[in-house]
């Protein structure tokens, strides 16, 4: 092991110095990951002071780590100054979800739903304040719309988003709604916390809900949540079509089928992902 001289004549090893740098880098990465995990998994929206209080790190350290995460697109800062999961992390998450059990379990049921309705069907998961599309089967007729596997949409104004939000505890939903920046995409977009709470409450009661041109003009959707007790994800499925072909009456006619499909997926999720099934 090579040695080097230092001014007072003592010897020091060159290798430990390199190792110290590696350990320092690892420590820095670990702190950043801890902050990322804290923000991503928190049940409430967190501002800078909340993050500092929760992690116990010095304010200067937290500020630097958050700045790095923001620069890399792993987190973002909402207009109310709370931190949310960033687009880049959502893209990573979508890639990971694409090969997981939820997608594979849902796939045959989504195919059957698409066959029955002849319209586009979606599977999406709630991540922070947005939904990320995990799977999509195009309808018989071509339809241009925003949803694509790996892309995200606001949860408050999409069918799958509101359905997934219905799986949140009431207090968590209220906190999330209070911190949202309600952007108006169309004349039908929900723009207040109260309106969102009422819509999601109806979904909890009925087991399904609608998106009537709330996110995209000319697009109608009926969606249902995928309850999975004991699992951390909140997911939903939907059938989507053009408003000129899929009117409200048609959506209501499909609603029981969409809910029944969601129930089948949920039942299989609970069975396939349970400890007993894994034995």
Binned at pLDDT 50, 70 and 90, residue 14 comes out as very low
Q: Given a cut of 90, is residue 29 above it in pLDDT?
A: no
Query: Residue 155: which of 90, 106, 109 has the closest Cα?
Result: 90
Which CATH architecture describes the domain 90-278? 2-Layer Sandwich (3.30)
> For the chain, where do the domains classified as CATH 1.10.10.10 start and end?
3-85
Higher pLDDT pick, 10 / 157 = 157
Q: What number of CA atoms fall less than 13 Å from residue 10's CA on the CB side?
A: 3
pTM of the entire predicted model: 0.67
Q: What is the share, in percent, of the chain residues with pLDDT greater than 90?
A: 42
Binned at pLDDT 50, 70 and 90, residue 22 comes out as very low
Q: Residue 224's pLDDT is what?
A: 98
**Residues near 99 by beta carbon (within 8 Å), at least 6 away in sequence:** none
Q: Given a cut of 70, is residue 17 above it in pLDDT?
A: no
**Residue 22 CB neighbour total at 10 angstroms:** 9
Q: Residue 264's pLDDT is what?
A: 95
Name the 3-class secondary structure at 123: strand
Q: Given a cut of 50, is residue 12 above it in pLDDT?
A: no
Binned at pLDDT 50, 70 and 90, residue 57 comes out as confident
What mean pLDDT is predicted for residues 185-206?
96
pLDDT in tens, 159-195: 999 999 999 998 889 988 988 889 999 999 999 999 9
- Ramachandran category for residue 207: left, alpha or beta (phi over 0 → left; psi -120 to 50 → alpha): left
pLDDT in tens, 116-165: 999 999 999 998 888 988 888 988 876 666 666 777 889 999 999 999 99
Helices then strands, counting H and E runs in the chain, come out as 10, 10
Cβ pair 146, 215 in contact under 8 A:
yes
Evaluate whether the domain defined by 3-85 bears CATH number 2.40.50.100.
no
pLDDT in tens, 237-273: 999 999 999 999 999 999 999 999 999 999 988 777 5
182-207 per-residue burial string, b: 16 or more CB within 10 A, e: under 16: beebeeebbeebeebbebbeebbeeb
Q: Residue 21's pLDDT is what?
A: 40
Strands (E), the chain: 3-5, 11-13, 75-77, 83-85, 120-127, 130-137, 152-154, 209-212, 219-226, 235-242
> For the chain, where do the domains classified as CATH 3.30.450.40 start and end?
90-278
Binned at pLDDT 50, 70 and 90, residue 229 comes out as confident
For residues 228 and 270, what is the distance between their CA atoms, to the nearest angstrom?
6
Average pLDDT, the chain: 82
């Amino acid at each position: 092991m090579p040695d080097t001289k230092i001014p007072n004549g003592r010897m020091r090893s060159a290798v430990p110095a390199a190792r110290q740098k590696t350990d320092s880098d690892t420590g820095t990465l670990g702190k950043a990951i801890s902050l990322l995990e804290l923000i991503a998994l928190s049940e409430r929206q967190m501002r800078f002071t909340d993050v500092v209080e929760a992690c116990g790190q010095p304010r200067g350290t937290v500020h630097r780590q958050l700045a790095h995460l923001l620069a890399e697109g792993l987190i973002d800062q909402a207009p109310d100054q709370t931190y949310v999961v960033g687009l880049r992390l959502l893209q990573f998450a979508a890639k990971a979800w694409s090969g997981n059990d939820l997608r594979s379990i849902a796939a045959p049921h989504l195919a059957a739903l698409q066959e029955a309705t002849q319209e586009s069907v979606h599977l999406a998961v709630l991540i922070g304040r947005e939904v990320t599309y995990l799977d999509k089967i195009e309808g018989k007729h071509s339809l241009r719309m925003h949803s694509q596997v790996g892309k995200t949409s606001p949860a408050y104004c999409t069918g799958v988003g509101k359905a997934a939000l219905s799986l949140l505890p009431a207090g968590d939903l209220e906190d999330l709604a209070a911190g949202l920046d309600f952007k108006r995409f169309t004349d039908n977009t929900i723009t207040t916390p109260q309106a969102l709470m009422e819509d999601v409450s109806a979904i909890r009661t009925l087991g399904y809900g609608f998106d009537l041109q709330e996110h995209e003009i000319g697009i109608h959707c009926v969606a249902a949540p995928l309850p999975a007790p004991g699992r951390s994800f909140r997911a939903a499925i939907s059938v989507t079509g053009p408003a000129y072909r899929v009117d409200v009456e048609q959506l209501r006619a499909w609603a029981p089928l969409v809910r029944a499909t969601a129930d089948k997926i949920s039942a299989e999720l609970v069975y396939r992902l349970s400890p007993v099934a894994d034995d």
